[in-house]
Amino acid sequence: MSMSKSKISTGALVALSMSAFPVVAQESHASKEQLAPLFPEGKPYSPYTDRDFPERPLWGDSHLHTSLSMDAGGFGNRVGLDDAYRLARGEQIMASSGQPVKLDRPLDWLAITDHSDGMGLIVDILDAAPIVTQYEQGARWSEGMRAGGQTAVDSTLDLIATFSQGQMDPEMFANYSPGARRYANIWEDVITAAENHNTPGSFTAMIGFEWTSLVEGANMHRNVIFRDGADRARQVVPYTTQHPIGSTDPLDLYKYLEAYEARTNGAVMTFAHNGNLSNGIMFPVDAQYSGRKIDQMYVEQRAKWERMYEITQIKGDGEAHPFLSPDDEFADYGTWDAGNLDLSVAKTDEMLAGEYAREALKNGLLLEEKFGTNPYKFGLQGASDAHNSIVVTSEDNFFGKHAGYEPSAERLDHSFMKTEQGELFSWQQVGSGLTAVWADENTRASIFDAMDRKEVYATTGPRMAVRLFGGWDFDESDQFSRSPSAIGYAKGVPMGGDLVNAPEGTAPSFLVAALRDPIGANLDRIQIIKGWLDAEGNTHEKVYDVSWSDDRQAGSDGKLPAVGNTVDVASATWTNTIGAAELITVWSDPDFDPAERSFYYARVLEIPTPPWYLYDALKFGVDIPEGAPTSHQERAYTSPIWFTPTGE
């Protein structure tokens, strides 16, 4: 691929409306045919009038915990709802460890999703309230947490393990479950805080919660996001997992969502995260964890309610695993594969196929062939899952998952989690992630609707701008258009969309563009990941390098050489002397078969940069942990575009 094909035009930068770089005049070579979609007869001269598509991505976090969550408060989080919103909006706050913190840039939106089970319990444990200490469990945890230090950590881990294994004292826990006055009051506080900080057009505070389903320690968590405001959200309380009111089965969560919409005439969705900690039960093909067979009802309900999947976050990246994708040299990013959520059961290779997004997308094609509905037809988004109220996605500003892992000279000295089944090290916490939403405006309704149509993408933290369009009529000249977004919407469908009715003898083509984070690293390459189902019912995948920086050529093995590495380990710096500020191309599938179901998504890689613990080493004068990589390549994942054969 030539340099001219791998770099985006200056006009495209303007049209993407995402650049902080100076615009340099250059001669246009657009043809009359190219301009026709932009300046059709009868339309105004200005190509920007009457546009009805999103102009810029809105950046946010769909998964953040405050001091209200049991585990967050237990590990020392004392930052509440209001300060969490203030930080997200760009203000400086004081972290639980007594350190001032501020984000590099404000977010456009935020969903605070505290755990629905046990809301308020941790507050009363820390206060040694009689409603808790009259029970053996509550008294033990209260004494331990109030003692501080490692005793407090051990007590919190004991609480989490007890909850994970479904062994909470039922009488005590009923006081912190739906139906209890204490629970209703805290839900009202959650709603009120969101209303107070929601400023349509400027900052959006989505109302939500996390449904914390655990099956003997296997992660089945879902976050729930409402499209609506206080008037509808107040008509319900969150759904929980503990019997007799709640359930750990996602099918019961779907019933709650259905009931909410019927009762309020509102809208709601849910999305899963951390399949990598589910020990194989997040994406079933034959049967659920309960033994219930996958059937028509299951695939239809999951497709209806789970419109997105959280593909990257602090507890590990969930796109792909090297065991499942041995030919993908970039599959091993931020991998957590030691065991389930509480490391009570070690991981085996047989579990992995039910845990990762790419495999789920492939198996979704298989289930669609069988049932006519694809339960894993989800968009891809990212979130932090930070439990200290701090959105932690900048490597030089990493405040860890829990208050106990906020910046200090000691945080790299001990394990993040360790049991007889395995160990996770502190440095394995991933500074991830964010969701970019292609919404028409910064409001709850518009952001929710973009999520619903899957016009979203995930990044591991950087704010690179990425577009993906698929269609039948894109040609090479479209990459030189001064308005690739207008071309993309005019000639194809955006990420999250569907391609059907393949013209005879025509393969789908994709217009994909990426612009680096204005204050971040240059780009290495854009890849298209394809998955498909063949005539024999077998699934396949392939990774294509479609656009890249610098003067590189693929080797005899078809692999593109590495972009290089400018990271200086001692100073925790890098230079943008390699890579490209922007990349764009039109790519057509050379292996297309119109009889095969398939999907395509883009993965955009930055050049290597320092991970967060290099900044710790520099700041505190500590050693880099043994085995910890000294550079990584942050990335973005777009939602897929699906192809369905004619007649389906």
Q: Which residue, 574, 561, 576, is CA-closest to 614?
A: 574
Structure tokens at 469: 């369009």
**What's the CA gap between 448 and 445, in Å, rounded?**
5
Peptide bond just before 433 cis, omega within 30 deg: yes
Low-confidence ranges of the chain (pLDDT < 50): 1-26
Of the CA atoms within 13 Å of residue 447, those in its CB half-sphere come to 30
Q: What is the pLDDT at residue 46? A: 81
pLDDT tens-digit profile of 92-111? 999 999 999 999 999 999 99
Mapped onto helix, strand or coil, the DSSP state of residue 82 is helix
Where do the DSSP E strands lie in 355-411?
379-382
- Evaluate whether 499 touches 530 at the Cβ level (below 8 Å): no
Q: What is the DSSP string of 10-60?
A: HHHHHHHT---SPP--------HHHHTTTS-TTS-S-TTTT--S--SPEEE
Q: What is the pLDDT at residue 534? A: 97
Q: What is the pLDDT at residue 598? A: 98
Q: What is the pLDDT at residue 35? A: 66
Q: What is the pLDDT at residue 271? A: 98
Q: What is the pLDDT at residue 639? A: 98
Q: Alpha helix locations (H) across 283-397?
A: 296-305, 357-371
Q: What is the pLDDT at residue 29? A: 66
Q: What is the pLDDT at residue 18? A: 43
**What's the CA gap between 57 and 17, in Å, rounded?**
9
Q: What is the pLDDT at residue 40? A: 63
pLDDT tens-digit profile of 226-253? 999 999 999 999 999 988 889 999 999 9
Q: What is the pLDDT at residue 28? A: 54
pTM score of the predicted model = 0.92
Q: What is the pLDDT at residue 27? A: 52
Q: What is the pLDDT at residue 261? A: 98
Q: What is the pLDDT at residue 21? A: 42
Q: What is the pLDDT at residue 213? A: 94
> What dihedral angle (degrees, nearest 10) is formed by the CA atoms of 518, 392, 187, 171?
160
Q: What is the pLDDT at residue 8? A: 46
Q: What is the DSSP string of 622-636?
A: -PPPTT--S-B--EE
